[in-house]
Amino acid sequence: MLAVSDLVREPWDYRFAGFLTQQDQSVRGWGVVSFELEEIDWGHNDAEQARNKKFVLRVIDLALQRHRWDELTYDPPFAQRYLRQFKSMVEGFPPATATPDPGFPGFPGPDDAAMASCARHRVLSALPHWDSCIFCSR
Ligand SMILES: [Zn+2]
């Protein structure tokens, strides 16, 4: 969330940020959060899909640089390894093969994008779906 909050520019980016807020295990429950890359609505054509995939990779790269990790109240010892694995998965994923289910709210639509920013923590929050940002909810 620290990385995506500082990189969002396009409407799809805010939807992806909303998607990340949905992965907050401290809100949804430990061990019950998961997703498939196929569930993500990567875009309607090759150009959109390529652009959005590049955005996700930029978010991962920024997080890998430990962007704003000094603001965390803990040291995440495995996060960089997981981020490298996630980056590898995204790099190898062909977005055109995604089959998001329009009836399944796995990937936020425009109305469910994370548009609000927590003034205290400067990260995006999916208000009103969550009461607060991922740091306030801890
Ligand atoms: Zn907050």
Q: For position 105, what pLDDT does the model report?
A: 64
Distance 4 CA to ligand 1 centre (A): 15
Q: Give 136 Cα–ligand 1 centroid separation in angstroms.
A: 4
Cα 125 to middle of ligand 1, angstroms: 8
Q: What's the CA-to-centroid distance between 48 and ligand 1, angstroms?
A: 31
Per-domain residue ranges of the chain: 2-125
Percent of the chain with pLDDT over 90: 59
The pTM of the full predicted model, rounded to 2 decimals, is 0.90
Amino acid 8: pLDDT: 97
CA of 24 to the centre of ligand 1 (A): 13
Structure tokens at 61: 């790269």
Residue 9 — pLDDT band, cuts 50, 70, 90?
very high
Q: How far is the CA of 135 from the centre of ligand 1 (A)?
A: 5
When comparing pLDDT for 19 and 137, which is higher? 19
Check residue 30 and give left, alpha or beta (phi > 0: left; psi -120 to 50: alpha).
Answer: beta
Q: How far apart are CA 42 and CA 35, in angstroms?
A: 14
